[in-house]
């Protein structure tokens, strides 16, 4: 699937996106219509996306601006994540970036007082929607990081389900240096690493290395740069070989039970297990295992 | 106390077990009566238990079936944990396993569509009850792991208060490979390790080493295999030398305050401290310390 | 600012301290009036405090009693933290200690039955108030630890926003040895480290090393003893160079969003970001960055 094709389809938010207290942002974006080469008035495309064998690669493609998460970039990313989210051909998403900076976070030029507070609000709400979209999306989303990820860029890494990074990557929330505390990035960071690690990053703005990020839970895996793509594709390929409805059920249930008290969580997940066993792919998987053959998934 | 003796006593659930929205499972098990050599119609015993000097050792004893947590195994384990839970002679429980696999999780033959959804529900609910029982039990429960712990076996390790493992042990939640996402294991795993670690394990099904498990909080301690029993017994012996009511009060309060907001948690625990000071063993301990002598506990 | 001067000022609790279900403790302490050399009837001062260049150093100064957190010590510490908390001259607080023991926790002589349960309650409530005060305070609080921190002393380290320790320091919650489970320390410890680490510390009373404390999230940073002060002052100096209102907004928001569900947390923090951008220092910081100059903060 070509990136242009991706963008050409509607991006109407499915049910799991509509739990927002804010007006759905996707509606606004939909009305904008397809972007890219065919619509030069909207400028160059800020992300590119391609999909093959169930794996969608979304690439932040504005290296000259250090892949800043401008409103346009956020909407482009959102569109690429939302595109045909319910398609059985989609099994896993990888988010990576062109150039030495994964992402430097918000575009500060959008945050001066030349823009209204309403505009600033749109920037932060859109960013928050994208981060929640990753968690609410039916397929796993993997960050593949090679370089520096700062502020909302670090938030993006923290928000993905899995994060693989090269050993020369680093991570920071330096907003405090600019008088703009990384309060939205702190939502994702504070749920990924111990609070003392998060607070030192937030209060000093200093970067941590990939190894520190791994040790503290911000990353799932660190590899030498030359193995980054191979290792990420290996994990993505593994996930793409699995049953999509089973993975989707498991992902949604994981995030739902995490904040619950233990008894409520076990009540929910015991029911999920019963439902999972009853899925066509649940029975197929168990039978294939007992019969010592490879399972054939419905999707 | 011999294992047969253990099983011969009733296992009626104490008050702290009756908070379940499900019917108490222990009742059904009690009516089954004592299992083991004397009741061959129930098959061989799936766990064995012995108790000495306040330390109860419960061993998963079905190595040919990789210590699968079948419904019978779960009920046997539940019975051994519940047995005389309120006895002052019991100070700490160790759960270990025979053979190279600590536990492979659920018995898949119990999860095919040859069994009804009600039966599947009983399997998952019983398993969840056992996991919560460990947390709600008045004495600390230690997992001593030497080998592979997967799916609900990994959940069992994550659910114990303390977990000691040999350095060759490994841990996985591979259900997704069989079309059966480890959603109940994810409850315990997601509360033990950072979410990115949990999600990579859940989405890929790949094992992590004992060292990784230690680094991420799934284990308390990793030692060479030849020191595993000694180290576990050292920790258990230390706990067995302490005041049972003090440990029980502390354990119950720890899990109760953990999900609370800070002020509620401090309100609860400040009161607990006052109550603890007022306990006979609280005063004995403080006085013994001031008088530079060994305390003599009430139990 | 001399310590005596610090103590000479009132310490009436600001609004953010008055959320307590308990009567404000500061009132009682205020009526006590200034302590120290001028009031020998109150005994020697238990903490000392000095402030320079926005950095307040508070030192536990009762090394002969292993810096026990007696009621008098807690009130002295509370007073030094609360003193002119709203002053724009205060940017960051460092808490350290004289002697080889950072703090050994409560003074056990205050917990015998020679004192009433009401007195015991005052001890634990005051301690809890101090710990919450650190989190509710508008400026970051850093623990600088060189030595042993046990029980409520370990709680104090866990309660600070950032903790730097020498590599020979160690940490324990040994109350269980004295029949007094560290239930209040467990509130802070259980929010800083994985639960299996916390529970092993609480159940066995055994110490963990500085390196283990760092690995598990109890510390932000570990350095050789001879670099401890330099490294801590480097971090404090960095924070002191930042905008106080921006840091205060960020700190308060961080702790507020942490227990919230994701959507509520993003709703709150998106609004915080908009408010932060609108702050004078928010606009100054962004403009200085765009203009490639150093920002000049309002405070």
Tell whether A40 lies on the interface with C, counting CB pairs under 8 A.
Answer: no
DSSP 8-state code for residue C24:
P
Nearest CA in chain B to A217: B194
Pairing of strands A101-103, A148-150: parallel
Nearest to B246 among C179, C206, C259 (CB): C179
Same domain, C132 and C188: yes
Q: How many helices (H) and strands (E) does chain B have?
A: 12, 10
Q: Do A200 and C235 touch (CB under 8 A)?
A: yes
Spatial separation of the C-alpha atoms in residues C38 and C36, rounded to whole Å: 5
Q: Do A128 and C221 touch (CB under 8 A)?
A: no
For position C284, which CATH number holds? 1.10.12
- Of residues B145, B185, B138, B180, the one with CA closest to residue B162: B145
Q: Do C270 and A121 touch (CB under 8 A)?
A: yes
Spatial separation of the C-alpha atoms in residues B48 and B212, rounded to whole Å: 30
Same domain, C113 and C129: yes
Spatial separation of the C-alpha atoms in residues A134 and C156, rounded to whole Å: 37
For position B156, which CATH number holds? 3.90.226.10
Measured between beta carbons, which residues in chain C are less than 8 angstroms from residue B162?
Answer: 196, 199-200, 203
Q: Is residue B295 part of a domain?
A: no
Same domain, C87 and C72: yes
State how many domains chain B has: 2
Burial class, A122, CB count within 10 angstroms (exposed 0-12 / middle 13-18 / buried 19+): buried
Tell whether A161 lies on the interface with B, counting CB pairs under 8 A.
Answer: yes
Q: How big is the A-C interface in CB pairs under 8 Å?
A: 159
pLDDT at A43: 62
Nearest to A192 among B178, B182, B195 (CB): B195
Q: Is residue A296 part of a domain?
A: no
Measured between beta carbons, which residues in chain C are less than 8 angstroms from residue A131?
Answer: 266
Tell whether C284 lies on the interface with A, counting CB pairs under 8 A.
Answer: yes
Same domain, B90 and B221: yes
Taking only the tens place, the pLDDT of each residue in B125-141 is: 999 999 999 999 999 99
Q: Do C198 and B247 touch (CB under 8 A)?
A: no
pLDDT at B9: 36
**CB within 8 A of B175, min separation 6: which ones?**
B105, B151, B181, B182, B185, B205
Show the DSSP H helices in chain A as ranges: 3-8, 25-32, 71-82, 117-136, 152-159, 183-190, 195-204, 210-216, 228-240, 244-257, 262-278, 280-290
Enclosing domain of residue C39: 3-240
Nearest to B184 among A273, A284, A289 (CB): A273
Same domain, B168 and B94: yes
Q: How big is the A-B interface in CB pairs under 8 Å?
A: 159
Same domain, B51 and B168: yes
Q: Which of A12-16, A86-90, C234-238 has the lowest mean pLDDT?
A: A12-16
Report A:240-279 residues touching C (Cβ under 8 A). Answer: 259
Same domain, B207 and B135: yes
Nearest to A284 among B125, B179, B259 (CB): B179
Same domain, C187 and C205: yes
Measured between beta carbons, which residues in chain B are less than 8 angstroms from residue C113?
Answer: 278, 283
Q: Are A114 and C295 in contact (CB under 8 A)?
A: no
Q: Do B218 and C196 touch (CB under 8 A)?
A: yes
Q: Is residue B231 part of a domain?
A: yes
Spatial separation of the C-alpha atoms in residues B13 and C89, rounded to whole Å: 60
Same domain, A119 and A256: no
Element (H, E) at B92: strand B92-97
Angstrom CA distances, C299 to A111, A206, C246, C253, C290, stand at 21, 21, 10, 19, 21
Spatial separation of the C-alpha atoms in residues B243 and B107, rounded to whole Å: 39
Residue C19 has pLDDT above 80, yes or no: no
Q: Do C274 and A135 touch (CB under 8 A)?
A: no
pLDDT at C8: 34
Same domain, A270 and A159: no
Taking only the tens place, the pLDDT of each residue in C250-264 is: 999 999 999 999 999
Measured between beta carbons, which residues in chain C are less than 8 angstroms from residue A206?
Answer: 238
Residue C164 has pLDDT above 90, yes or no: yes
Compute the average pLDDT of residues C122-138. Answer: 98
Q: Do B112 and A287 touch (CB under 8 A)?
A: yes
Spatial separation of the C-alpha atoms in residues A196 and C217, rounded to whole Å: 6
pLDDT at B250: 98
Q: Do C161 and A199 touch (CB under 8 A)?
A: yes
Residue B121 has pLDDT above 60, yes or no: yes
Pairing of strands B101-103, B148-150: parallel
- With vertex at residue C245, the alpha carbon angle to CA C242 and CA C246, rounded to the nearest 5 degrees, is 60
Distance from CA of B154 to the nearest CA of C (A): 14
Distance from CA of B67 to the nearest CA of C (A): 24
Taking only the tens place, the pLDDT of each residue in A41-85 is: 456 679 999 999 999 999 999 999 999 999 999 999 999 999 999
Tell whether A18 lies on the interface with C, counting CB pairs under 8 A.
Answer: no
Distance from CA of A101 to the nearest CA of C (A): 18
Q: pTM of the prediction?
A: 0.88
Residue A2 has pLDDT above 60, yes or no: no
Burial class, B118, CB count within 10 angstroms (exposed 0-12 / middle 13-18 / buried 19+): exposed
Taking only the tens place, the pLDDT of each residue in B32-61 is: 333 443 344 456 679 999 999 999 999 999
**Last residue of a domain, which of B199, B224, B240?**
B240
Residue, of B152 and A22, whose pLDDT is higher: B152
Spatial separation of the C-alpha atoms in residues C243 and B227, rounded to whole Å: 54
pLDDT at C43: 61
Q: Is residue B56 part of a domain?
A: yes
Q: Do A125 and C270 touch (CB under 8 A)?
A: yes
**CB within 8 A of A5, min separation 6: which ones?**
none
Q: Do A285 and B179 touch (CB under 8 A)?
A: yes
Q: Is residue C295 part of a domain?
A: no
Same domain, A268 and A226: no
Spatial separation of the C-alpha atoms in residues A14 and B61, rounded to whole Å: 49
- Confidence grade of residue A27 (pLDDT, cut at 50, 70, 90): very low
Spatial separation of the C-alpha atoms in residues A103 and A37, rounded to whole Å: 23
Q: Do C187 and B265 touch (CB under 8 A)?
A: yes
DSSP 8-state code for residue C23:
P
- Of residues A94, A102, A97, A96, the one with CA closest to residue A139: A94
Q: Are C168 and C149 in contact (CB under 8 A)?
A: no
pLDDT at C22: 33
- Confidence grade of residue A264 (pLDDT, cut at 50, 70, 90): very high
Which chains does A contact via 3+ CB–CB distances below 8 A? B, C
Measured between beta carbons, which residues in chain C are less than 8 angstroms from residue A108?
Answer: 286, 289-290
Q: Is residue A298 part of a domain?
A: no
- Confidence grade of residue B74 (pLDDT, cut at 50, 70, 90): very high
Q: Do A286 and B198 touch (CB under 8 A)?
A: no
Q: Is residue A297 part of a domain?
A: no
Q: Do A161 and B196 touch (CB under 8 A)?
A: yes
Same domain, C182 and C267: no
DSSP letter string, C224-261: -GGGHHHHHHHHHHHHHTS-HHHHHHHHHHHHHHTTS-
Q: Do A161 and B203 touch (CB under 8 A)?
A: yes
Q: Is residue C209 part of a domain?
A: yes
User: Percentage of residues in chain A with pLDDT exceeding 90?
Assistant: 84
Compute the average pLDDT of residues C45-49. Answer: 93
């Amino acid at each position: 699937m070509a990136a242009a094709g991706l963008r050409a389809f509607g991006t109407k938010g499915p049910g799991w996106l509509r739990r927002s207290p804010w007006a759905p942002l996707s509606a606004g974006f939909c009305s904008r219509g397809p972007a890219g080469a065919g619509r030069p008035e909207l400028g160059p495309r800020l992300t590119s996306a391609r999909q093959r064998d169930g794996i969608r690669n979304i690439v932040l493609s504005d290296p000259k601006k250090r892949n800043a998460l401008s409103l346009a970039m956020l909407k482009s990313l959102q569109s690429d994540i939302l595109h045909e989210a319910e398609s059985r051909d989609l099994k896993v998403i990888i988010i990576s970036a062109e150039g030495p900076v994964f992402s430097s976070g918000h575009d500060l030029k959008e945050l001066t007082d030349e823009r209204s507070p309403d505009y600033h609000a749109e920037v932060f709400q859109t960013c928050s929607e994208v981060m929640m979209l990753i968690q609410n999306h039916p397929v796993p989303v993997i960050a593949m990081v090679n370089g520096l990820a700062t502020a909302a860029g670090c938030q993006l890494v923290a928000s993905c389900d899995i994060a693989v990074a090269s050993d020369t990557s680093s991570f920071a929330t330096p907003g405090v240096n600019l008088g703009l505390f990384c309060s939205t990035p702190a939502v994702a960071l504070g749920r990924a690493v111990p609070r003392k690690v998060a607070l030192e990053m937030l209060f000093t703005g200093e970067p941590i290395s990939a190894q520190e990020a791994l040790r503290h839970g911000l990353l799932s895996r660190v590899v030498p740069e030359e193995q980054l793509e191979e290792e990420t594709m290996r994990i993505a390929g593994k996930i793409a070989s699995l049953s999509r409805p089973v993975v989707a059920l498991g992902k949604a249930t994981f995030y739902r039970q995490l904040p619950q008290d233990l008894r409520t969580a076990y009540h929910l997940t015991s029911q999920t297990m019963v439902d999972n066993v009853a899925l066509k792919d649940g029975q197929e998987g168990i039978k294939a295992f007992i019969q010592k053959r490879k399972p054939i998934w419905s999707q």
